[in-house]
């Protein structure tokens, strides 16, 4: 489960001679300098934006589908298909948008307000079983005022929905879901997006490829002729692809090697703090031993977060014990202090619990790195908790296997790194409140937390929202339904020939503006 430096060096040497796939060879000959290749870990599961794959693979959905608004690489919300950010009614229930004119879907059909209405209402219909549908269940419907003007109507105030829209939604042509069926959107979504990439091919366990959209509505973009998203699970293999010029950009560089690699000749790299990158341990509060709050508090006090983040994640995680980055405007230092690393407190809480003599549980962990490699962290946690008499059994499986199990409530615990849109309430809402697509992962509900959520949803400004978020963090520190280790940074490495690429603070790898030198 842990890799030695010698093993890593050996694999790097072997990986450097990996052959190019047939597709890459063909394209390098046909489009010299025109193909951008991005290597990602894990396994894609869908091209459908409302049933999206994991965070990294959202590069696929976001090159096909677009939204009314988007986040830029600095995490600033800005208009996309809409001309401007919406006008919001005084009661916070109506959001008015005006679309750009002249935008066309990949099939040549013009984008209109009717397409937006159809897309939203299809996603909101429970009969369609959109995985992210519950995220938007406070939205009611869309009213069309003209081919370019529309209003989104909410059932109750819900200010974060715009930020969530940027990651878990897209706009497709009216009637296309019935016309093409679910497999079209999932496996070969040709003709149904407005984005910079035209879907070309999905070769399982290898790559997904795109051609440049010659009629893209943003002039001069994209600059690449072809985009290949390679599936390269192993850290060492991704690095080898980069060093041997078989990949132009890689995601999830190994933290222990990142600082050295980014200064290597011909290579560039950068890392940026994220507002939505949870590094945490998900606990199923319905399963023993996590059905006892004192046991959960014992675990929370027994974990040396600083050592994990400095020595295992090599500074790529900003330490915090609550669901807020220390650098964020909503961080509550008082709540963070409640869960200090203290083995005496851990033992005291254990004695107060239903399991005073310790307990055993299974800790799941992704076998292939997802955003960061958690395997060494799992081994460290196993050692740490043994100090207070708690036995941890580590279970390794692919992220594509663990995520559905987590959503169904089938895991005791999972040490993981997950990315949200960067809104302070999103992850708390989907994991720790009832009726969301990840609610069963925690089996945790709390009436006061629900009330605080509603109060926060009414606010569009930081200062009036902050006291509600601070109280949420204190409540979660005291009840410890999950255990937070910190917030991870987004990091990438890329070759010198890649121009205009920047690491995104809140989204996946963004390549719409990238050109090749």
pLDDT tens column, 448-503: 999 999 999 999 889 999 999 999 999 999 999 999 999 999 899 999 999 999 99
Helix (DSSP H) and strand (DSSP E) numbers for the chain: 19, 19
Q: What backbone phi and psi angles, to 5 degrees, belong to 64? A: -95, -50
Residues 233 and 381 both lie in one domain: no
Give domain status of residue 243, yes or no.
yes
Give domain status of residue 215, yes or no.
yes
Q: In angstroms, rounded to a whole number, what is the distance separating the alpha carbons of residues 253 and 491?
A: 7
Q: What is the mean pLDDT of the chain?
A: 91
Give domain status of residue 265, yes or no.
no
8 Å CB contact between 300 and 345: no
8 Å CB contact between 258 and 493: yes
Strands 413-419 and 391-397: unpaired
Q: In angstroms, rounded to a whole number, what is the distance separating the alpha carbons of residues 407 and 113?
A: 34
Q: In angstroms, rounded to a whole number, what is the distance separating the alpha carbons of residues 254 and 232?
A: 13
Spell out where 297-447 has E strands: 317-319, 360-366, 391-397, 413-419
Give domain status of residue 184, yes or no.
no
Q: Residue 408: give its domain's CATH number.
A: 3.10.105.10
Q: Residue 157: give its domain's CATH number.
A: 3.90.76.10
Q: In angstroms, rounded to a whole number, what is the distance separating the alpha carbons of residues 486 and 309?
A: 8
- pLDDT score for 18: 43
Residue that finishes a domain, picked among 178, 213, 238 = 178
Q: In angstroms, rounded to a whole number, what is the distance separating the alpha carbons of residues 18 and 20?
A: 7
The set of long-range contacts for 450-455, using a CB threshold of 8 Å and a minimum separation of 24, is 453/425, 453/428, 453/429, 454/156, 454/157
Segment (H or E) for 94? strand 94-98
- pLDDT score for 165: 86
Segment (H or E) for 196? none
8 Å CB contact between 501 and 368: no
Residues 116 and 139 both lie in one domain: yes
Residues 460 and 504 both lie in one domain: no
Lookup result for tokens 């940027």: 166
Alpha-helical (H) ranges within 409-461 are: 426-432, 439-442, 447-457
- pLDDT score for 16: 40
- pLDDT score for 74: 83
**Tokens at 84, concatenated:** 């401007």
Residues 22 and 91 both lie in one domain: no
Q: In angstroms, rounded to a whole number, what is the distance separating the alpha carbons of residues 392 and 113?
A: 53
> How many CB atoms neighbour CB 34 within 10 A?
15
8 Å CB contact between 456 and 468: yes
For residue 97, give Cα distances in angstroms to 62, 90, 104, 405, 473.
Answer: 21, 15, 18, 38, 34
Strands 226-231 and 207-212: antiparallel
Residues 474 and 410 both lie in one domain: yes
Give domain status of residue 471, yes or no.
yes
Residues 289 and 432 both lie in one domain: yes
- pLDDT score for 507: 61
Residues 333 and 378 both lie in one domain: yes
- Which residue numbers in the chain have pLDDT < 70? 1-33, 52-53, 507
pLDDT in tens, 23-59: 443 444 334 449 999 999 878 889 999 986 677 788 9
Q: Residue 15: give its domain's CATH number.
A: 3.40.190.10
Residues 200 and 217 both lie in one domain: yes
Residues 473 and 365 both lie in one domain: yes
Give domain status of residue 220, yes or no.
yes
Residues 120 and 174 both lie in one domain: yes
- pLDDT score for 53: 60
State how many domains the chain has: 3
Q: What is the DSSP letter of 500?
A: S
Residues 413 and 474 both lie in one domain: yes
Residues 507 and 475 both lie in one domain: no
Q: Which domain holds residue 390?
A: 274-489
Give domain status of residue 187, yes or no.
no
Give domain status of residue 362, yes or no.
yes
Peptide bond into 158 cis (omega under 30): no
Q: What is the DSSP letter of 292?
A: S
Alpha-helical (H) ranges within 85-158 are: 113-124
Tell me which residue of 182, 374, 163 sits closest to 276, measured CA to CA.
163
Q: What is the pTM (predicted TM-score) of this model? A: 0.83
User: How much of the chain is helix, strand and coil, in % rounded to 5?
Assistant: 35, 25, 45
């Amino acid at each position: 489960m842990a890799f030695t430096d010698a093993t890593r060096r050996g694999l790097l040497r072997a990986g450097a001679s990996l052959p190019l796939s047939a597709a890459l060879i063909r394209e390098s000959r046909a489009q010299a300098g025109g193909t951008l290749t991005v290597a990602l870990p894990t396994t894609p599961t869908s091209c459908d934006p409302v049933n999206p794959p994991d965070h990294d693979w959202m590069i696929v959905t976001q090159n096909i589908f677009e939204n009314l608004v988007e986040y830029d690489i600095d995490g600033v919300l800005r208009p996309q298909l809409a001309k401007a950010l919406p006008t919001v009614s005084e009661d916070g229930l109506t959001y008015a948008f005006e679309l750009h004119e002249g935008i066309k879907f990949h099939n040549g059909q013009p984008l209109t307000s009717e397409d937006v209405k159809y897309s939203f209402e299809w996603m909101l219909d429970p009969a369609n079983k959109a995985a992210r549908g519950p995220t938007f269940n406070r939205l009611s419907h869309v009213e069309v005022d003209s081919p370019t003007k529309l209003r989104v109507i909410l059932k109750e105030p819900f200010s974060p929905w715009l930020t969530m829209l940027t990651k878990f939604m897209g706009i497709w042509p009216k009637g296309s879901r019935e016309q093409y069926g679910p497999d079209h959107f999932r496996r070969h979504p040709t003709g149904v997006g407005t984005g910079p990439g035209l879907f070309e091919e999905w070769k399982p366990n290898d790559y997904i490829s795109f051609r440049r959209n010659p009629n893209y509505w943003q002039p001069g973009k994209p600059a690449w002729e072809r985009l290949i998203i390679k599936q390269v699970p192993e850290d060492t293999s991704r690095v080898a692809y980069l060093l041997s010029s078989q990949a132009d950009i890689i995601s999830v560089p190994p933290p222990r090697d990142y600082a050295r690699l980014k200064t290597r000749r011909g290579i560039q790299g950068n890392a940026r703090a994220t507002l939505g990158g949870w590094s945490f341990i998900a606990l199923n509060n319905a399963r023993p031993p996590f059905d006892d709050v004192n046991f959960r508090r014992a675990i929370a006090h027994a974990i040396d977060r600083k050592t994990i983040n400095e020595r295992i994640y090599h500074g790529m995680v900003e330490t915090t014990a609550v669901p807020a980055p220390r650098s964020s405007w909503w961080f509550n230092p008082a709540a963070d202090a409640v869960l200090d690393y203290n083995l005496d407190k851990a033992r005291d809480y254990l004695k107060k619990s239903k399991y005073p003599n310790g307990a055993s549980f299974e800790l799941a962990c992704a076998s292939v790195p997802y955003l960061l490699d958690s395997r060494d962290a799992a081994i460290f946690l196993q050692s740490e908790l043994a100090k207070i008499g708690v036995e941890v059994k580590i279970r390794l499986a692919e992220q594509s296997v663990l995520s559905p199990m987590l959503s169904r409530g089938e895991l005791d615990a999972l040490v993981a790194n997950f990315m949200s849109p960067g809104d302070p309430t999103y992850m708390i809402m989907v994991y720790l409140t009832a009726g969301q697509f990840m609610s069963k992962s925690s089996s945790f509900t709390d009436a006061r937390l629900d009330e605080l959520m509603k109060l926060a949803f009414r606010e569009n400004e930081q200062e009036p929202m902050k006291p509600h978020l601070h109280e949420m963090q204190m409540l979660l520190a005291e009840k410890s339904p999950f255990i937070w280790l910190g917030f991870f940074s987004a990091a990438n490495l890329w070759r010198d020939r890649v121009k205009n690429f920047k690491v995104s603070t809140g989204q996946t790898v963004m390549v719409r503006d990238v050109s090749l030198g």
